[in-house]
């Protein structure tokens, strides 16, 4: 029999104003097993905690019921108090008589009645509590960052600076991501490459960072502190340690017709190439789909001109296996395909381009060496129309576009419009918008400059139709403020395409057992209070894989994720949560129902030998819960048809005892 | 031989006979009999979007109900008829107030009292019959005289595709069904931006210059994209493009080309 102490908190007037706390303490005193009951103004204060410790000693209490605020608030506090008093922290139960009682009731009688019932339920439960001890596991002091854009680079740099080794896995041959493709950055208009490439070089030179480029994560096992990851490094047919990046091969290769993905296929490179001048690692790569040598066995020009002897036509994919304590997802975004939006004639005319293509067209390292020329005929465009929200805020047609706001388009469109007017004052520039959204430091000032100083025509309304005809783009749109239809003959149309998570994110989330929303953005553990952690322990989120973000926000989040990783890696061991699921192996029939509902991949199966009542042995398949991975959500206990699964600290009989106490 | 109920509509019996005659003959070759509904009446011409307008939608309900009684899908060809039938059917399914008014009327008044109707009949456009029931592959295999080398622009107009949630035939901004049809008869589809724009419609009666402007814009855009010929399913579109369009680009019904390809009609 437990010796239970009940402590009723007033919480100043928060509870005491609508709950008669003396009556609650008095009612609890008459419950079986309760040997001590009292009330106090602030139970969480030092004096209140001392009162609890004294009572434990004096009355030899074995279980505590604290009638106070939500366990989210002070459960940890009172567990510590219990430990200080010399009893197991898991012998404490909280009856929430504030958030779920005094705050929602106005009537003292009703509030008091409910508080008494909640106290009785907690008393009934604590009778069945058992001492629980959290398990411990060691922490591998190495982090994995998946994705080498600005988010991944910043996270890796911060972790490395704190002294922990970190690997960046990047699927392209170079790190840099989308930011490397941009021309200027808002709102300061400094060049993207000038601020990004030094960071890329820092990452390459940092002795704690290993860049695994042209690679993808294939398999993830283990749990927080102890992940085991398999990475496939694709064959680039060039020995990375030998190549000097001189680029001679990329000039001599006879296969010149390979679409240049870095320039969004607006020009071509050779079959052996370096994505861009500041690539990291600056190592050539052969595209096996175009290389004559790899396809027919005849050519070998690159091997002949390479003075370093770096070309290796026989190179194979390589599998790297490594242990990590923490994993950061930084898989980034892509613009959506705008081909579905045929009203904008993207697939009908070369002169309808996306904003990312526009970035390349104005970039000095782009296909036109920074001159803004029409892709169809290389002429200078005089009338340019920008269309915002192409595929964003598309609630009416979610199958085609995205319901959300892509967040960055208003600002980069203002940037594009301003830069065009600055460089080519003879152009007429129109921007069609639904709303202009520019919250951010110096953002609205920036947009207003585009309108007021640079004379960009901002038109509230959408474009309904673009008709390519006789070398012009006939733009039909509505001006909602003037309440009239507009017809503009444009030379170039730029579509601000919505952004979506990279396609690699969904399979990665499955491997990590990290949850995603319906748009395939990674879900954070708490939208406000834990924005850089996944609900899955040990998985962190950096950059646009969690939601649309601009560069400053991405970098902030990247550093925040790094701080969380550093916090985790600084620990030698991790204390687990002892309130985890446990399977009764005699009752389990190995049906897999629990593993199918487990969101964390904590349940595996094993074949175990049992001695049967007739002394024979039998091998049965049974469920095993990994306590380090289990988050104690309890889904498996509900799914289990034989009742073998139970959750420590919330066992079925404890829950039933609470229900009985409430219904009595 | 599969049988479907068929609603020709007034225009197909008068100005647009080619649309009707060849549609029936081609369907026979492709293994489907179009069974004309007995005593059908005008569809109403335009689907009146005001909710309390019941009377003009009754003849469409009668046609739908008659096809339902025969246990057959209802096929129509004229874009305007199809639009009215499909929208009326959707209203009978989803707008319970409208449906109860209509049912109150058709079950209690008139000579041929009818059973209540709630939108059970499947309404198909002739193009959907080709795509979803017969299959364009089958059409292709039945073609005797492919229209090889012909560059044909599909003209959808507006009634065939919109409102897209109700018509549910194709993507209203990037439709494919007529292009697939053009490929099936061996010709080359020409994509042009104005293919799903309005021809001017009934505006030709009130403000002819507007219909002229709209029709000319469609034809100019199609010819600048390289089309030799336009196909349509809509008699009103054909009228506007022929009479109001100031561009000599020829416009024919898609059933005429189908008949040519199947060897029913001399080219």
Mean pLDDT of chain A: 95
**Which of B173, B224, B225 is nearest residue A343 as measured by Cβ atoms?**
B173
Q: Please tell me whether residues A406 and A472 are part of one structural domain.
A: yes
Round to whole Å and give the CA distance between A344 and A335. Answer: 16
Pairing of strands A226-233, A318-324: antiparallel
CA–CA min distance A499, chain B (Å): 21
Q: What are the start and end residues of each CATH 1.20.1050.140 domain in chain B?
A: 2-125
A617 within domain boundaries: yes
> Among A32-36, A66-70, A307-311, B107-111, where is mean pLDDT lowest?
B107-111
pLDDT at position A468:
95
Phi, psi angles (nearest 5°) of residue A570? -75, -15
**Using an 8 Å Cβ cutoff, are A300 and A510 in contact?**
no
- A294-to-A174, A241, A242, B8 alpha-carbon distances in Å: 22, 21, 20, 62
If asked whether residues A324 and A184 sit together in one domain, one would say yes
Residues whose CB falls within 8 Å of the CB of residue B19, separated by 6 or more in sequence, listed in order: B11, B12, B77, B78, B233, B235, B253, B255, B256
At A42, list the tokens: 């602030």
Considering the domain architecture, whether residues A189 and A150 belong to the same structural domain is answered as: yes
User: Which of A53, A37, A50, A44 lies closest to A12 in space, CA to CA?
Assistant: A44
CA dihedral sign, ordered A21, A27, A29, A31: negative
Evaluate whether residue A384 is within a structural domain: yes
Tally the domains of chain A: 5
Question: Does residue A396 lie in a domain region?
Answer: yes
**Per residue in A644-656, pLDDT tens?**
999 999 999 999 9
Q: With beta carbons less than 8 A apart as the criterion, state whether B232 and B82 touch.
A: no
A355 plus A325 within the same structural domain? no
Nearest to A271 by CA among A283, A253, A284: A253
Q: What's the CA angle centered on A626, arms A620 and A629, to 5 degrees?
A: 150
Whether residues A281 and A408 fall in one domain: no
The DSSP output letter for B203 is: H
Q: What is the mean pLDDT of residues B166-186?
A: 95
Q: Which residue has the higher pLDDT, A613 or A551?
A: A551
Query: Per the CB < 8 Å rule, is B191 touching A348?
Result: yes
Residues of chain A with pLDDT > 70, as a percent, come to: 100
Rounded Cα gap, residues B228 and B213, in angstroms = 21
How large is the average pLDDT for residues A602-631? Answer: 91
In a domain, A311, yes or no: no
A340 touching chain B per CB within 8 A: yes
pLDDT for A87-123, tens place per residue? 999 999 999 999 999 999 999 999 999 999 999 999 9
Residues A279 and A380 in one domain: no
Rounded (10°) CA dihedral A519, A520, A521, A524: 110
Cis peptide before A386 (omega within 30 of 0): no
- Is B171 an interface residue toward A (CB < 8 Å)? yes
Q: Which domain holds residue A557?
A: 143-231+317-332+502-569
Q: What is the CATH number of the domain that holds A89?
A: 3.40.50
Write down the ipTM of this complex: 0.82
In chain B, residues under CATH classification 3.40.50.11810 are 144-262
Task: Look at B193 and A340 and tell me if their CB atoms are within 8 Å.
Answer: no
Task: Express each pLDDT in B116-164 by its tens digit.
Answer: 999 999 999 999 999 999 999 999 999 999 999 999 999 999 999 999 9
How many other C-beta atoms lie within 10 A of the C-beta of residue B265?
18
Cα B49 to Cα A311: distance, rounded to the nearest angstrom: 70
Torsion-angle region of A256 (φ positive above 0: left; ψ -120 to 50: alpha; else: beta): alpha
Residue A357: count of CB within 10 angstroms of its CB:
21
Per-residue pLDDT at A399? 72
Give pLDDT, residue B48: 85
Mutation target vs B (from A337, A340, A341, A343; most B CBs, 10 A cutoff): A343
Confidence band for B110, pLDDT divided at 50, 70 and 90: low
Which two tokens mark A560?
A: 């925040």
Cβ–Cβ below 8 Å for B197 and A343 = no
The 10s digit of each residue's pLDDT in A262-305 is: 999 999 999 999 999 999 999 999 999 999 999 999 999 999 99
Looking at residue A135, its pLDDT comes to: 85
The pLDDT, as a whole number, for residue B198 is 94
Q: Across A331-382, where does the E strand assignment appear?
A: 333-335, 352-354
CA–CA gap between residue A539 and residue A525 (Å, rounded): 10
Same domain as A323, residue A341: no
Average pLDDT (B87-116) is: 86
Q: What would the pLDDT profile of A530-545 be if each residue is shown by its tens digit?
A: 899 998 889 999 999 9
In terms of domains, do A625 and A488 share one?
no
The answer to whether the CB of B157 falls within 8 A of the CB of B149 is no
Q: Are residues A364 and A420 in the same domain?
A: yes
CATH class name, domain B144-262:
alpha beta
- pLDDT band, very low/low/confident/very high, at A373 (cuts 50, 70, 90): very high
Q: How far apart are CA A163 and CA A209, in angstroms?
A: 10
CATH code where residue A401 lies: 3.50.50.60
Spell out a b/e string for A373-403, using b for 16 or more CB atoms within 10 Å of the CB, else e: bbbeeeeebebbbbbbbbbbbbeebeeebbe
- Report the C-alpha gap between B249 and B267 in whole angstroms: 17
**B109 pLDDT tier (thresholds 50, 70, 90):** low
Residues from chain B contacting residue A468 (CB–CB below 8 Å) = 193, 225
> Chain B: residue nearest A474 by CA?
B193
How many angstroms separate the Cα of B205 from the Cα of each of B16, B211, B239?
A: 19, 9, 12
- CA B238 – CA A317 distance, rounded (Å): 61
Question: What is the pLDDT, as a whole number, of residue A327?
Answer: 98
Average pLDDT score over residue span A381-392: 97
Count the Cβ atoms, other than its own, within 10 Å of residue B93: 13
Whether A659 maps to a domain, the answer reads: no
Average pLDDT over residues A401-424: 97
Mean pLDDT score, A333-343 = 94
CATH code: domain B2-125 is: 1.20.1050.140
CA distance A524 to A560: 13
Percent of chain B past pLDDT 70, that is, above it, reads: 98
Same domain, A426 and A348: yes
pLDDT at B113 over 80: no
Q: What is the pLDDT of residue A79?
A: 96
Q: Are residues A56 and A85 in the same domain?
A: yes
Mean pLDDT to the nearest integer, B24-32: 95
What is the separation, in whole angstroms, between the first and last Cα of chain B?
A: 27
A358 and A327 in a common domain: no
What SS3 state is found at A581?
strand
Tokens of A636: 């498996």
pLDDT tens digits, A152-171: 999 999 999 999 999 999 99
- Check residue B52 and give its pLDDT: 81
* 211-240 of B, contacting A, C-beta below 8 A: 217, 220-221, 224-225
Which structure tokens are listed for A332?
């980034």
pLDDT over 70 at B111, yes or no: no
What is the overall mean pLDDT for chain B?
A: 93
Interface with B, mutate which of A339, A345, A469 (most B CBs under 10 A): A469
Cα–Cα nearest to A143, from A539, A530, A543, A524: A539
Predicted confidence at residue A378, as pLDDT, reads 95
Q: What is the mean pLDDT of residues A631-657?
A: 94
Residue A364: per-residue pLDDT: 93
User: Is residue A188 domain-resident?
Assistant: yes
Q: Cα(A171)–Cα(A232) distance, rounded to whole angstroms? A: 10
- Does a structural domain hold residue A237? no
> Is B267's pLDDT higher than 70?
no
Size of interface A-B (CB pairs under 8 A): 31
Interface touch B193/A466, C-beta < 8 Å: yes
Q: Which CA distances in Å does A437 have to A201, A367, A582?
A: 34, 31, 50
Backbone angles phi and psi of B98, in degrees to 5: -60, -45
Q: What is the pLDDT of residues A449-467, one digit of tens each?
A: 999 999 999 999 999 999 9
Does position A627 have pLDDT exceeding 90, yes or no? no
């Amino acid at each position: 029999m437990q010796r239970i102490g009940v402590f009723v908190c007033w919480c100043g007037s928060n509870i005491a104003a609508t709950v008669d706390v003396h009556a609650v303490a008095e009612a609890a005193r008459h419950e079986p097993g309760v040997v001590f009951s009292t009330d106090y103004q602030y139970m969480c204060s030092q004096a209140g905690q001392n009162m609890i410790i004294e009572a434990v000693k004096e009355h030899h209490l074995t279980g505590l019921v604290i009638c106070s605020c939500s366990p989210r608030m002070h459960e940890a506090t009172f567990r510590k108090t219990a430990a200080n008093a010399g009893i197991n922290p898991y012998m404490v139960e909280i009856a929430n008589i504030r958030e779920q009682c005094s705050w929602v009731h106005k009537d003292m009688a009703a509030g008091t009645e409910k508080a008494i019932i909640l106290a009785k339920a907690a008393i009934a439960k604590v009778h069945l509590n058992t001492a629980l001890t959290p398990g411990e596991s060691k922490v591998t002091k190495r982090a994995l960052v998946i994705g080498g854009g600005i988010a991944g680079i910043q996270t890796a740099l911060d972790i490395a600076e704190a002294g922990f080794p970190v690997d960046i896995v990047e699927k392209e041959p170079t790190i840099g991501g989308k930011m490397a493709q941009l021309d200027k950055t808002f709102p300061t208009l400094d060049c993207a490459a000038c601020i990004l490439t030094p960071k890329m070089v820092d990452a390459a030179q940092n002795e704690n960072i290993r860049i695994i480029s042209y690679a993808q994560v294939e398999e993830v096992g283990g749990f927080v502190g102890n992940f085991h990851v398999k990475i496939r490094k694709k064959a680039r047919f060039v020995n990375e340690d030998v190549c000097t990046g001189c680029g001679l091969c990329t000039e001599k290769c006879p296969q010149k017709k390979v679409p240049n993905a870095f320039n969004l296929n607006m020009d071509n490179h050779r079959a052996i190439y370096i994505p861009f001048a500041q690539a990291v690692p600056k190592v050539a790569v052969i595209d096996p789909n175009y290389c004559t040598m790899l396809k027919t066995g005849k050519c070998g020009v690159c091997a002949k001109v390479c003075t370093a002897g770096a070309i290796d036509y026989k190179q194979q994919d390589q599998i790297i296996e490594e242990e990590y304590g923490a994993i950061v997802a930084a898989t980034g975004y892509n613009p959506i395909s705008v081909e579905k939006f045929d009203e904008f004639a993207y697939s009908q005319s070369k002169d309808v381009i996306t904003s990312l293509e526009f970035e390349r067209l104005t970039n000095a390292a782009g296909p036109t060496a920074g001159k803004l020329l029409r892709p169809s005929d290389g002429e200078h465009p005089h009338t340019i129309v920008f269309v915002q929200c192409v595929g964003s805020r598309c609630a009416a047609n979610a199958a085609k576009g995205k319901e959300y706001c892509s967040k960055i388009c208003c600002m980069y469109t203002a940037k594009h419009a301003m830069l065009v007017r600055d460089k080519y004052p003879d152009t007429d520039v129109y921007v069609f918008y639904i709303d202009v959204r520019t919250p951010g430091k110096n953002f609205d000032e920036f947009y207003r400059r585009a309108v007021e100083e640079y004379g960009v025509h901002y038109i509230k309304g959408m474009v309904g139709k673009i008709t390519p005809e006789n070398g012009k783009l006939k733009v039909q749109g509505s001006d909602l403020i003037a309440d009239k239809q507009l017809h503009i003959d444009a030379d170039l149309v730029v579509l601000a395409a919505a952004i979506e998570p990279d396609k690699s994110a969904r399979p990665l989330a499955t491997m990590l057992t990290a949850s995603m929303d319906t748009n395939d953005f990674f879900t954070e553990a708490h939208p406000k209070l834990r924005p850089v952690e996944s609900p899955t322990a040990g998985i962190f989120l950096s950059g646009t894989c969690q939601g649309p973000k601009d560069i400053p926000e991405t970098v902030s989040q990247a550093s925040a994720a790094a701080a969380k990783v550093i916090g985790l890696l600084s620990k030698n061991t991790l204390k687990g949560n002892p309130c985890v699921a446990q399977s009764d192996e005699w009752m389990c029939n190995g049906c897999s129902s629990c593993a199918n509902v487990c969101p964390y991949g904590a349940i595996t199966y094993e074949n175990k030998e049992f001695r049967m009542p007739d002394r024979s042995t039998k091998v049965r398949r049974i469920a095993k819960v990994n306590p380090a991975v289990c988050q104690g959500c309890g889904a498996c206990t509900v799914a289990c048809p034989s009742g073998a699964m139970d959750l420590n600290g919330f066992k079925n009989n404890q829950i039933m005892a609470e229900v009985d106490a409430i219904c009595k | 031989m599969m049988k479907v109920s068929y609603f020709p509509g007034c225009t197909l019996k008068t100005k647009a006979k080619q649309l009707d005659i060849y549609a029936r003959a081609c369907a026979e070759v492709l293994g489907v009999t179009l069974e004309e509904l007995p005593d059908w009446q005008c569809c109403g011409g335009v689907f009146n979007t005001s909710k309390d307008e019941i009377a003009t939608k009754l003849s469409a309900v009668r046609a739908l109900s008659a096809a339902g009684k025969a246990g057959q899908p209802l096929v129509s060809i004229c874009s305007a008829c199809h639009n009215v039938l499909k929208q009326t059917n959707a209203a009978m399914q989803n707008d319970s107030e409208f449906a109860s008014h209509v049912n109150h009327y058709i079950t209690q008044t008139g000579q041929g009292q009818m059973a209540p109707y709630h939108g059970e009949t499947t309404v198909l456009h002739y193009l959907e019959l080709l795509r979803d029931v017969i299959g364009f592959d089958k059409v292709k295999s039945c073609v005797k005289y492919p229209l090889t080398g012909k560059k044909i622009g599909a003209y959808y107009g507006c009634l065939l595709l919109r409102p897209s949630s109700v018509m549910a035939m194709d993507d209203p901004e990037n439709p494919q069904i007529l292009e697939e049809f053009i490929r099936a008869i061996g010709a080359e589809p020409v994509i042009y931006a104005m293919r799903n724009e309005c021809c001017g419609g009934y505006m030709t009666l009130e403000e002819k210059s507007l219909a002229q402007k709209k029709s000319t814009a469609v034809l100019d855009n199609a010819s600048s994209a390289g089309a030799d010929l336009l196909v349509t399913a809509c008699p009103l579109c054909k009228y506007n493009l022929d009479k109001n369009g100031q561009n000599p680009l020829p416009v024919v019904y898609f059933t005429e080309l189908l008949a040519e390809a199947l060897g029913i009609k001399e080219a």
